[in-house]
Amino acid sequence: MNNRALAATAAAILAFAPLAAHAAAPDDAPVAEAAGQPDTDILVTARRRAEDPQTIPGALSVVSGALLDRSYTINTQGLAVLVPALNYSSANPRNTAFTIRGLGSSVVAVSQANDGLEPGVGYYVDQVYHARPATAAFDFSDIDHIEVLRGPQGTLFGKNSTAGAISISTRLPTFEPEAEEELSIGSRNFVQAKAAASGALIGDSVAGRISAVVTRRDGVIRDTRTGADLNTIGNQAVRGQVLIKPNDTLQVRLTADFSNFQSDCCTQVYLRVAPTLKAAARQYAALAANLPGGAYQPASTNPYGRVTDIDAALGTNTNEGGVSAIADWNVGPVTLTSVSAWRFWNWDAANDRDYTGIPIQTSQHIPSRQDQYSQELRFASNGDRALSYVGGLYVFRQRVIGRPISIYGPLATYWLLGGPSAALPANLLDGYGSDGRTDFQSNSYAAFGEANWRPLAGLTLTGGLRYTYETKTGSYTTFTFGGPSGLTQGQINSQLSILRGQVYSAKVDDGSLTGRANVAYDFTPGVLGYASFARGAKSGGINMSGLPLDNANQPALSKAVVRPETNTAYEIGLKTRLFDHRLIFNIDGFYTRVTDFQANVTDTGAAAALRTYLANIPVVTVKGFEADAVATPIPALSLRGSVAYADGEYTAYPNAPCPIEAIGSGTSVCNLSGKPLSSLPKWTVSAGGDYTLPVPALHGAFILHADSVSRTSQYGDPTDSAYTRIEGYTLVNASLGYRNSAGWEIAVFARNLFDANYIQNVTIQAGNSGLILATPSDPRTIGVTFRARQ
């Protein structure tokens, strides 16, 4: 995108918010809020009532909107820099996954691309559950604060989740006029414009708010074949709200939002080659050297050269949005709450799934449409009493319709089957492909409640239960087409070994009782200790990506459904606020055991031909500790530090898929019991700080901000292949700015300040040639931001 178009885009979004909002900032407006109050001083709603997070007996991280702005955290990927327990991975928006303490869905090789599995980490925006993890790839806009909750959730609100929840709260409409505008420009034609405006619409009973964000950036990977820049960014989002307050006891919040992501994205680059147990002629080195038409060389064998030579179309077009209504009615002893929502998600993308300049696979995409409806009714006690409680009902319905399309190219036969020969003509797979339709529907009904009782001064006992009943149905229909005509049965069988049409349907119908218990004690004012037990569950999943075949070469229907997953978590912790609130220090230890973890495994049947499908890992465990501190030694200085240690393993996984280096020509399984859980670094450390230097002569202050995260190595594939190991890294971000008392600010920022090279995620090329692909880190981005508030 050229600079003129970028400038026009920025100007258009800034028009959303008036530069004069009927109320200018006073000359003596505070300029020292960059150091500000620590995030643990804001109120959170983790237990569906406004509370100080230091009084909540459980591990959670709170990130304020102010810190998101100061740290240039614009999406969930950036949030993982500030919250060490959170891990984020996204090969493309559809394949977005996040884990908390190593648990969620990232150990599933297909990530969330399988529509029949629900995520282990719940994702909420303004109390509304988002069922598709892909929606977390969009940029943040007008955020008040974010809460990251650990462990099973469900006795207090929303959808049940086994690993934790990310709860995002946007800023409410205000009756006092206010506006914000922000424009950032940086490296690789990076432009981000944000705007928000709020004020009264009808007297003191109806207020409105509108906010928007647009982000553009050129690509960070160059296609040497076309000269195009790939992995570009093209995000835009708008949110409108109306707040109705006819009196002091009733409040209704109406919201509508829409987000769109359009870009030349997403591809990966050459990382390395793993040896396999296949014949030498069927491994990558020989395949590339003997390629018909001449030996193949990748564009670069250095992943940090950030170049590729893919030869198939690439592009992502996805959008999501919805409407919601939240009503709160204070009837004296309790507050009644209703949360009603409808949301949608559309997805389409063109991919080169062989990630090379070799025409192996010329098209692969899954156009999809998801609609969801949810209704929550909740009651919560008011006041500070010896007995407090929350209870409610929850209904959730979802439907996802997809169209899996895959087409192979001129060299697919050579690369995937061998030849050319009489049995395997060179064009056997050229134009051969599959098409079809998938239809997944789920319905969830739940009743939940939790009570807190203080039998003695300082002692609080908590107990909560949830019963969830869920039904799921799935149908999968695909057919093959294309390829040459006049084939022998043997040649047709060779085609079918690569793609085979399948028709099947399945359903899940089960219920589960989950809950938690907690004991907390206030040792002194500002020192809270607690111990907790929680049980979470996910209902069975449906394999919506195809099934292994039985001995009659028919879909093995017994494999269509995976068993429910159960999560049992124990935690102890200590929360402190010391030295007149100048130091906040929290620490917790945890142990989590997951049975029947829903994952991707290899078929062991005699008729199978190296096929994988969704099934259960018998036992996964994770244990560790977390500690975080916020210090304000002087009013102008705020320091933050966090550390997370997690030791996760496949405790029992006897029939696991084999790592690439142990794969031969036939089906094989490996025993991964005792091996580390993938996508989980053992150590993650984050640190940051803000310093404000007032300059009265300039009617403002200089503000220095920095944050960093360090992660140790991890396995990037669920098989724990040594060739998918991702080395540890340290990422540092910083900014230096000037804030004027009139309400405007200008700053220079750097993302990835020291231009660290690291790998974000890896992929094993289909066909198991041994080629490993990766997404490299984004290079350093330097830019300038102008921000104004009225």
Average per-residue pLDDT for the chain = 88
pLDDT of residue 7: 43
Mean pLDDT score, 691-707: 95
- Letter for the amino acid at 685? V
580: buried, middle or exposed (CB in 10 Å: 19+, 13-18, 0-12)? exposed
**Number of alpha carbons in the 13 Å side-chain half-sphere of residue 583:** 6
Q: What is the CATH number of the domain that holds 765?
A: 2.40.170.20
Q: What percent of the chain clears pLDDT 70, i.e. is strictly above it?
A: 91
pLDDT of residue 114: 77
- Letter for the amino acid at 89? S
> How many Å apart are CA 386 and CA 454, to the nearest integer?
5
Q: Which of 91-100, 522-531, 551-560 has the highest mean pLDDT?
A: 522-531
> How many Å apart are CA 313 and CA 310, to the nearest integer?
8
Point out the least confidently predicted range of 18-27, 248-257, 647-656. 18-27
Residue 500 CB contacts under 8 Å (≥ 6 apart), including other chains: 480, 549, 553
Mean pLDDT score, 700-711: 96
Q: Which two tokens stand for residue 14?
A: 């800034």
Mean pLDDT score, 15-39: 41
Which residue range is the domain that position 88 belongs to? 3-789
User: What sign results for the dihedral spanned by CA atoms 150, 152, 156, 158?
Assistant: positive
Mean pLDDT score, 128-157: 88
Mean pLDDT score, 472-486: 94
Point out the least confidently predicted range of 220-229, 233-242, 319-328, 536-545. 536-545
> How many Å apart are CA 334 and CA 778, to the nearest integer?
49
775: buried, middle or exposed (CB in 10 Å: 19+, 13-18, 0-12)? buried
Question: How many independent structural domains does the chain possess?
Answer: 1
Q: What is the DSSP letter of 417?
A: I
**Which of 65, 93, 64, 61 is closest to 77 using CA atoms?**
93
Res. 471: pLDDT tops 90: yes
pLDDT of residue 15: 41
The model's confidence at residue 751, banded by pLDDT at 50, 70 and 90, is very high
What does pTM read for this prediction? Answer: 0.91
Q: Which two tokens stand for residue 158?
A: 């929303």
The model's confidence at residue 41, banded by pLDDT at 50, 70 and 90, is low
The model's confidence at residue 9, banded by pLDDT at 50, 70 and 90, is very low
Mean pLDDT score, 38-42: 58
Query: What are the tens digits of pLDDT across the range 352-370?
Result: 889 999 999 998 888 999 9
Mean pLDDT score, 283-287: 95
pLDDT of residue 423: 86
Res. 57: pLDDT tops 80: yes
Higher pLDDT, 506 or 20: 506
Omega of the bond leading into 266 within 30 degrees of 0 (cis): yes
Point out the least confidently predicted range of 121-125, 196-200, 431-435, 546-550. 546-550
Res. 14: pLDDT tops 50: no
Classify strands 368-381 and 315-330 as parallel, antiparallel or unpaired.
Answer: unpaired
The continuous run of DSSP H or E covering 169 comes out as: strand 164-170
Q: Which two tokens stand for residue 236?
A: 């835009």
Point out the least confidently predicted range of 42-46, 514-518, 532-536. 42-46
